[in-house]
Amino acid sequence: MKIRTALVCTATLLLLGTASAQAPAPHSDDPDAFVAAAEAELDALLRAQANADWIAANFITYDSQKIAAAAQELITAKAIELAKGAARFDGMDVSPATARKLEFLKLALPVPAPEDTALIAELAAKSNSLTGAYGSHQYCNEDGECLAEPEMVNVMATSRDPGELLEIWKGWREMGPPMREDYVRVMEIANAGAKELGFDDLGGMWRSNYDMEPDAFAAEAERLLTQIQPLYQALQCHVRAKLNEFYGSSVVPVDGPIPAHLLGNMWAQSWLNVSDLVAPESSGPAYDLGTSLRAAGSDSRDMVRTGETFFTSLGFDPLPETFWERSLFTKPRDRDVVCHASAWDMGDGEDYRIKMCIEPTAEMFETIHHELGHNFYQRAYRDQPPLFRGGANPGFHEAIGDAISLSITPDYLAQIGLMDSVPEESDDVGLLLDMALDRVAALPWTYLVDQWRWGISSGATPPESMNESWWELREKYQGVGPPEARGDSFFDPGAKYHVPAMVSYTRYFIARILQFQFYRALCDAAGYEGPLHRCSFFGSEEAGARLNAMLEMGSSRPWPDALESLTGTRTMDATAINDYFAPLQVWLDEQNAERLCGW
């Protein structure tokens, strides 16, 4: 193992050296020539970085972190150089494609550093330290039993002991305080880098990725959240009331925020695991996909094969054999890995992978479809120029797999043998409630994570108030609060992977909106007629052709063009969400008629 790892690391360093020396820095005064040279350099560097990051995520050691930091340092320096070079052409008359590529060069680095080699190196080292701390964190209880993320997440999903849940919830967040200083420094460096590129701050730079002015996009995101608030507020009211009945008022208040450790999820972003406590009494039992997967003897590869079959039923080609040889499907016994699910494009147009620590659960089954959505998107746009190999906007990439997973209906599960029969329509409220506990419950969460970061980057939230601001936003938007006082000596946001990894979270919010728009359009393409929530477009090659036409565009056109090509509209809206959950909204309003709602 040590010899093989050393060889891989040496090969990666050689690849990095080759990539950095492959082409001279593009200094042409011709914008088209500049862009062509920039794409060639970035393509080589990104391939090298993908290999380095894969090793760092799958072999968490001092040396793997150094290699990943070196790769990030190289590409950060190059991206800064190219961003500043692209700015030389501001205001010049260029073709639409070249103008778009120049803009992408200025936005290429999600976490930019100033043009200072020492700061570039510091940013790379601290960024990799943060993700390494997350991936290697374990909580050891009083009996000396040490638990990593998968085991702790499982306890949060299955336990109904509030004391045990509190212990695990707090234990996972022990990683936060040691991260705090490095996180503040990473934000300082990234903010300075964003300002050098002409943005007000890092948050403004992230919001510029949506073909809109940053402030206009912020207003658009708020408008979209407002559209779904009545449904979310009704859901929160019902869940709080049922948890109060189960745990008692000493644990769950009849009004106010729901304690975050009681919602069946480490981060209270999905509430699906408390379905048994809040399900409607009058409906039949909701199906348990996890039980069906275990009864079928489905292992991790079987579950991924099932996800692949959905895409091939739409007319997509199967994934290459290298996908099955090189992906990580289960947590290794001999080393720490970053178990957070992710999809990987290694940059050569052939090598696509996922990295997951898969368990036979409904959540994992849906996550597999989500991650494969990334892989099929990546492969669809592989023939685009390097700078156009991406989603039409960051939310598009996240939405594709989620739109597919909306098609994981009882009808689909019956077709693939994971259900014996399709439930009657009288059971639909229970099924819709399960869906809402996952998809609707997550909407405010996906909105507030970046709201919190935007406050830090703008200076509205000082470092000494980061944790306080975090819980203020969670109460404001989610109606969720900490189970005990959490002052600013804690750093609870650090316990969510995307925060130390500096991954913008707004993409997930936009994806939650877009997935229902995509889904409704794909159901229309499949010729489906009936209640929207019962649609599965599994097996529809017409839906697949429509989807592939949008995916192949990559980011070559503004996202309204891509959206229109599939849905017929150029505007994001939440009407498909309201259509999908309309029967549930009626039922929730009936349940909440005598309750005190709001927080």
Q: Which of 73, 167, 398, 475 is catalytic?
A: 398
Mean pLDDT on 535-554: 96
The residue annotated as part of the active site, out of 73, 308, 371, 475, is 371
Residue 371 bears catalytic tag: yes
Can you tell me the distance from the alpha carbon of 389 to that of 387, in angstroms, rounded to the nearest whole number? 6
Q: Is 68 a catalytic residue?
A: no
> What DSSP designation does 191 have?
H
pLDDT tens per residue across span 194-205: 998 888 999 999
Active site residue 399: no
Distances (CA, A) of 59 to 2, 67, 127, 328, 549: 11, 11, 17, 12, 38
Q: Which candidate in 447, 508, 519, 580 is catalytic? A: 508
Of 378, 374, 323, 377, nearest to 351 by C-alpha is 323
In one-letter notation, the amino acid at residue 520 is R
pLDDT value at 109 more than 90 = no
Angle formed by the axes of helices 62-87 and 176-196, to 10°? 20
Q: Which of 498, 541, 552, 582 is catalytic?
A: 498
Average pLDDT, integer, range 325-346: 92
480-481 and 258-259 as β-strands: parallel, antiparallel, unpaired? parallel
**Mean pLDDT to the nearest integer, 541-554:** 97
- In the set 99, 121, 192, 341, the catalytic residue is 341
Contacts of 1 (CB under 8 A, 6+ apart): 334
The answer to whether 83 touches 108, Cβ cutoff 8 Å, is yes
User: Look-up: residue for tokens 């029967």?
Assistant: 583
Share of the chain above pLDDT 70, in %: 94
Among 77-91, 222-236, 411-425, name the most confident range. 222-236
pLDDT at 286: 55
Q: Rounded distance, CA 573 to CA 418, Å?
A: 33
pLDDT in tens, 124-178: 899 989 999 998 999 998 888 999 998 999 999 999 999 999 999 999 999 999 9
- Phi and psi torsions of 481, nearest 5°: -135, 165
Q: 37 in the Ramachandran plot: left (φ > 0), alpha (ψ -120 to 50) or beta? A: alpha
- 464 as an active site residue: the answer is no
Which of helix, strand or coil describes residue 278?
helix
For 83-104, the pLDDT digits (tens) are: 888 988 988 999 999 999 998 9
Q: Decide if 398 is catalytic.
A: yes
Q: How far apart are CA 185 and CA 193, in angstroms?
A: 12
Cβ–Cβ < 8 Å for 473, 260: no
Which phi and psi angles does 202 have, rounded to 5°?
Answer: -65, -40
| Residue 235 clears pLDDT 50, i.e. is over it | yes
Dump pLDDT digits (tens) for 428-468: 898 899 989 999 999 999 999 999 999 999 999 999 999 99
Tens of pLDDT, residues 5-56: 333 333 344 344 444 444 444 567 899 999 999 999 989 998 999 999 999 9
Q: Which of the following is catalytic: 374, 381, 397, 475? A: 374
Phi-psi bin for 255: left (phi > 0), alpha (psi -120 to 50), beta? beta
pLDDT 10s digits, 363-421: 899 899 989 999 999 999 999 999 999 999 989 998 998 899 899 998 899 999 998 88
Instruction: State how far the Cα of 530 lies from the Cα of 534, in Å rounded to an integer.
Output: 7
Q: Residue 557 pLDDT more than 90?
A: yes
340 is catalytic: yes
Catalytic position from the list 340, 369, 397, 533? 340
**Is residue 261 annotated as a catalytic residue, yes or no?**
no
